[in-house]
A = this chain, B = another copy of it.
Amino acid sequence: MAIIVKKFGGTSVGSVELIRHIAARIAAGKKPGDAVVLVVSAMAKTTDDLVALAYGISPHPSRRELDMLLTAGERISMALLSLALQEEGLDSISFTGSQSGIITDDRHGNARILNVNAFRIREELARGKIVIVAGFQGVSQSKEITTLGRGGSDTSAVALACYLQAERCEIHTDVDGVFTADPRLVRSARLLPELGYAQMLALAYNGSKVLHPRAVEFAWKYQIPVEVKSSFTFEPGTLLTPAPTTQQGTNMEERKITAIAHKQNLIRYSVAADQRLIGALKDWHNEIFRWWVEGARAELVCEAKYDAEIAHWLDTRQIAILGREAGLGGVTLVGLGINLDPGWLARTLELCAPYAIRRVQHSDMTIELLLPSEQVPACVQALHQAFLGDTP
């Protein structure tokens, strides 16, 4: 029995019409013998609405009760999708994270998957049913309802695909796949039919929102064939592959830029790198986009949405703030081996002369720029034109 896991995000199930559309597409595309598992997020905005309700009652809602509340979101979308499939004449059943056997640790709001006991899913698939699973949620070993935090539904889908030894995992989303740059910024950006796990991960870390880095790490680690595609057109999207890139240059050893990622609305804090900071970092559970330490000074670049939280955290920990700069953005070139050839740095600096570049650094596979947030679009456009503009 070849199992296919298909995940549909919040915008893909954002209305009754969209849910019906997906059900119709699945009914039309289903072949006899296909075993299909659908992982769904809550309908777009549902989660935000539920969060707003909770904060309307309590300024500091308990994480446990918040998880209980939020998991209602997927319960709604999965039940509606199941009904829509039944209207299409298909046999279907929906499961919560707990019913589908997604076992997590007990960190409410940001749980990590420990294991998957998917026997109920297997049983229902064997009966010929389409199984719909609530993404984003699981159950702890003490039977408490948990949520997986950011990127949760993608991670649920990839974890299920792993445990079910699925033939593939399709991530259906509101874009056509992964592009050489964000097509909303760069009109000539091209869809990448194939992309290495490592490159996808670098893009995800650096701002591509198509897949959450956590799900990509998972897919790479367990070598799950993942395809990112449109939930509207169902056309072929981007397939993640073990090879770092399928772009072949004119010679075997040629190094190329694969794609460009960007991130806006970042904030940079310069703080004293001392014992207090070390203690504090251990308790800081949000992601830090970039950090570096030079001598006694640590630099932390985060999404601006964490600004108040960071300021509060630094304050309560009595960590000295040496500097703060808001309105920053990041642009990242991704390409295997571009760190080894100083020519890439030279070209990048040259192309970035018109922008107020604050900082450039590299990793094995990236060249990373920090610049004013409002200059990000122009910078991405210029770099795409130079490095990716003329290759077909």
Interface positions of A (Cβ within 8 A of B): 105, 112-116, 155, 159, 162, 197-198, 201-202, 205, 213-214, 217-218, 220-223, 242-245, 250-255, 273, 277-282, 284, 287-288, 290-295, 336-337, 339-340, 342-343, 345-347, 349-350, 357-366
* Additional pairs, 5, CB under 8 Å, beyond known A112-B252, A113-B251: A201-B364, A217-B255, A290-B362, A291-B342, A363-B364
Q: Is the CB of A245 within 8 A of B223?
A: no
A205 touches B336 (CB 8 A): no
| Smallest CB separation, A209 vs chain B (Å) | 15
Choose among B113, B218, B244, B291 the residue that contacts A221 (Cβ–Cβ < 8 A): B244
Contacts of A295 on B, CB cut-off 8 Å?
358-359
Q: Is there contact, CB below 8 Å, between B223 and A340?
A: no
Contact A293-B251, Cβ < 8 Å, known A223-B243, A336-B221: no
CB-based contact A359/B293 at 8 Å: yes
Q: Are A362 and B214 in contact (CB under 8 A)?
A: no
Select one of B113, B202, B288, B294 contacting A253, CB under 8 A: B113
Stoichiometry, as copies per complex, reads 2
Residues of B within 8 A of A220 (CB): 243-244, 336
Describe A's contact surface by its main secondary structure.
Answer: mixed
Give CA–CA (A366, B362) in the complex, Å.
12
Cα–Cα distance between A113 and B318 once the two chains are bound (Å): 56
Q: Which one of B217, B292, B293, B349 lies within 8 Å of A336 (CB-CB)?
A: B217
Q: List 16 A-B contacts (CB under 8 A).
A: A112-B251, A113-B253, A114-B251, A201-B364, A202-B364, A205-B339, A214-B253, A221-B336, A222-B243, A278-B346, A281-B345, A282-B347, A291-B361, A292-B361, A293-B357, A364-B366
Min CB gap A290→B, angstroms? 8
Q: What B residues does A254 contact at CB under 8 A?
A: 112
8 Å CB contact of A115 from B202, B213, B214, B252: B252
Within the complex, the shortest CB–CB distance from A346 to chain B, in Å, comes to 4
Q: How far is the CA of A293 from the CA of B155 in the complex (A)?
A: 36
List residues of chain B with CB within 8 A of the CB of A112: 251-254
CB-CB under 8 A from A105, the residues of chain B are: 251
Least CB distance from A303 to B in Å reads 13
Bound-complex Cα distance A277 to B221 (A):
40
Cβ contact within 8 Å between B360 and A292: yes
Complex Cα spacing A365 to B255, Å: 20
Docked Cα-Cα span, A62 to B223, in Å, equals 49
Partner of A252, one of B113, B293, B361: B113
Contact between A242 and B242, CB atoms less than 8 A apart: yes
Pick from A250, A293, A339, A349 the residue with the most CB of B within 10 Å: A293
A294 contacts B358, CB within 8 Å?
Answer: yes
CA distance A197 to B223 in the complex (A): 13
What residues of B have a CB within 8 angstroms of the CB of A360 in the complex? Answer: 292-293
Residues of B within 8 A of A251 (CB): 105, 112-115
Chain B residues with CB under 8 Å of A287's CB are 340
Note all chain B residues with C-beta closer than 8 A to A273.
349
Contact B284 A342 (CB under 8 A): yes
Residue among B255, B281, B359, B365 making CB contact with A364, cutoff 8 Å:
B365
Contact A282 B359, beta carbon cutoff 8 Å: no
> Which residues on B sit within 8 Å (CB–CB) of A288?
342, 345
Q: How far is the CA of A281 from the CA of B365 in the complex (A)?
A: 19
- Within the complex, which residue of B217, B253, B277, B347 is in contact with A337, where a contact is CB–CB below 8 Å? B217
A201 to B366, CA, bound (A): 14
Q: How far is the CA of A288 from the CA of B344 in the complex (A)?
A: 12
